[in-house]
Chain A
């Protein structure tokens, strides 16, 4: 099955600086890579995703880059703000050979703390 590794497990950055979280995966057939943000007491919230035919995607202060050859993808948050403090999870979905068989495999999470 798919194996997803996420680093670092904790990250503290000064407000205004950038944060980068990286995930590597094992299944070269994977083609969908979402990132989720989970705040305390809440469910994971999809913040950005990328598909295998795209190398980079940006949404305001958040960007995701994908390197399919190296089988890794990264979340970049620029100009960090206190409200960015949360746990971030990457996830990977393999190419769907059977309709409806969507099994996301999650990374172990990164606890991001923004220092005011």
Chain B
């Protein structure tokens, strides 16, 4: 158990709908990352938040957005869903220490999204 929690575990919805995925980082971790894992694209970095602020963006679609709340949990919002959005969505967290240290990223169990 990595200490990162994600809800829900499974989500089935229809095209055009909007869903929200939730992530709670490990205790003490300030950074949250979102990744998408699909069969044909592998693990793709979407976005990173650090202590409530967006820090880095990857291959995130404009239909997707995220935020990190004061209690450090994060939500990933996916709207106008398409069939191709079906994938596993992982959240990871790290301490992200100041001073140039690189924090290991610990992954949650993921949310499996199925768009019908």
Q: Are A100 and B96 in contact, CB atoms less than 8 angstroms apart? A: yes
How many A-B residue contacts, CB cutoff 8 Å?
Answer: 69
Q: Compute how far the CA of A51 lies from the CA of B30 in the bound complex, rounded to whole angstroms.
A: 22
Cross-chain contact B42 with A109 (CB below 8 angstroms): yes
**Cβ 8 A contact of B42, one of A51, A102, A106:** A106
A43 and B42 within 8 A (CB): no
**10 A–B contacts, CB within 8 A, in A order:** A32-B102, A41-B109, A43-B90, A43-B109, A89-B42, A102-B102, A102-B103, A107-B42, A109-B42, A109-B43
Report, as a range, how many residues of chain B touch the other chain.
20 to 34
**Interface residues in chain A, defined as those with a beta carbon under 8 Å from any beta carbon in chain B:** 31-32, 34, 36, 41-46, 49, 51, 89, 93, 96, 99-109
Which B-chain residue is minimally distant from A109 (CB atoms)? Answer: B42
